[in-house]
């Protein structure tokens, strides 16, 4: 018997959704940061087993809409939930869910399990959940996999939704763009990250070297200055770490050029949001 189906991973920003997807898939599918609202798109992470294929859908953190980008992100969450076989609602174990959050969980129109995350941390709180896990140590991920499989539709024969060689639906270009954004989140202060986006503008190969040009879009000249940093140091760090990731992904030498661009108030401009792919 073969099991195959979709699982949406939902929860507030920073709950550990992307970390869980990466841990279950065993590859870096989604970027991680300690800043809220890191994930903007629905990203598929595919877990392939002998007799199963689980398609995990990473989603942006659930939050109240402020600008057009936020609204687009929440639309992504709603569309991820519709039609899945199971929703895992993640709650950061070091926080306590409030009544609004419980209300939200109760209204999800799909089978839902509440998962407490970050079990490895010292200050984990006591609250009702179906399972406690740590993506960092891998604790209880085997139990989580069993729980997920219970909800997956069964088939008499092999039934792959995606080719079994794939671990994500996203392109190499997307993964590299996201890696640039992750490194920018890492090296920039709280106020800048939400206002940045990355677009890969050129991607070509010549003599076994991959050349990548990327635009790093931000909201104003002050942010641009912070991204570039003193003597270009910050941008250099972002670029060299993202290049290392690209090389490990492509198994080729990579030349990566990042251009910092200002697009005033882009998070309220539907055409810019669309062109950036959100
Ligand atoms: N100690 C510990 N930290 C974790 C664990 N899972 C996630 N984190 C940390 O929690 C922070 C948020 O993790 P993400 O996986 O980016 O969270 P997310 O839910 O995808 O966040 P958004 O995309 O912003 O909605 C990061 O700093 C992670 O390193 C865990 O199991 N243990
Ligand atoms: Mg995320």
pLDDT at residue 78, rounded to an integer: 86
168 lines ligand 1 (CB under 6 A): no
Among 19, 30, 42, name the best residue to mutate to test ligand 1's pocket (greatest count of ligand atoms within 8 A of Cβ): 19
pLDDT at residue 257, rounded to an integer: 98
Q: If you average pLDDT over every residue of the chain, what do you get?
A: 94
Q: How do residues 58-67 score in pLDDT, each as one tens digit?
A: 999 887 767 8
Separation of CA 39 and ligand 1 centre (Å): 11
Query: What pTM does this model have?
Result: 0.94
Closest residue CA from atom 32 of ligand 1: 118
Q: How do residues 19-77 score in pLDDT, each as one tens digit?
A: 999 999 999 999 999 988 898 888 999 999 999 999 999 999 887 767 888 888 788 88
Ligand at minimal distance from the CA of 62 is 1
First-residue to last-residue Cα distance in the chain: 38
Ligand at minimal distance from the CA of 37 is 1
Separation of CA 174 and ligand 2 centre (Å): 15
Could you give the domains of the chain?
A: 2-155 (3.40.50.300), 172-275 (3.30.300.20)
> What atom in ligand 1 is closest to the CA of residue 121?
1
Q: How do residues 202-224 score in pLDDT, each as one tens digit?
A: 999 999 999 999 999 999 999 99
Ligand at minimal distance from the CA of 124 is 1
> What atom in ligand 1 is closest to the CA of residue 117?
31
pLDDT at residue 76, rounded to an integer: 81
pLDDT at residue 212, rounded to an integer: 98
User: What value does the mean pLDDT take over residues 117-142?
Assistant: 97
121 lines ligand 1 (CB under 6 A): yes
DSSP string, 154-182: EESS---SS-TT-SBSS-HHHHHHHHHHH
Q: How do residues 162-195 score in pLDDT, each as one tens digit?
A: 999 999 999 999 999 999 999 999 999 877 878 8
Show the DSSP H helices in the chain as ranges. 17-25, 68-81, 99-106, 141-151, 172-187, 221-228, 233-250, 270-275
């Amino acid at each position: 018997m073969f099991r195959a189906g979709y699982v949406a991973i939902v929860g507030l920003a920073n709950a550990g959704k992307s970390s869980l997807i990466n841990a279950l898939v065993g590859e870096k599918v989604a970027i991680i940061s300690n800043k809220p609202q890191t994930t903007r798109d629905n990203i598929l992470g595919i877990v392939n087993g002998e007799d199963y294929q689980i398609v995990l859908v990473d989603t942006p953190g659930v939050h109240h809409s402020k600008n057009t980008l936020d609204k687009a992100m929440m639309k992504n969450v709603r569309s991820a939930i519709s039609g899945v076989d199971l929703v895992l609602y993640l709650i950061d174990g070091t926080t306590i869910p409030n009544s609004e959050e419980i209300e939200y969980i109760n209204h999800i129109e799909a089978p839902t399990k509440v998962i407490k995350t970050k079990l490895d941390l010292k200050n984990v709180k006591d609250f009702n959940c179906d399972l406690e896990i740590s993506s960092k140590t891998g604790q209880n991920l085997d139990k989580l996999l069993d729980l997920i499989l219970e909800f997956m539709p069964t088939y008499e024969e092999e039934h792959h939704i995606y080719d079994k060689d794939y671990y994500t639906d996203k392109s190499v270009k997307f993964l590299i763009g996201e890696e640039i954004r992750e490194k920018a989140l890492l090296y920039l202060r709280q106020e800048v990250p939400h206002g940045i986006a990355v677009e890969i503008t050129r991607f070509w190969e010549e003599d076994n070297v991959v050349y990548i040009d990327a635009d790093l879009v931000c909201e104003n000249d002050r942010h641009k200055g912070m991204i570039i940093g003193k003597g270009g140091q910050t941008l250099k760090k972002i670029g060299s770490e993202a290049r290392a990731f690209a090389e490990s992904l492509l198994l080729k030498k990579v030349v990566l050029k990042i251009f910092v661009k200002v697009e005033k108030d882009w998070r309220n401009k539907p055409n810019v949001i669309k062109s950036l792919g959100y």
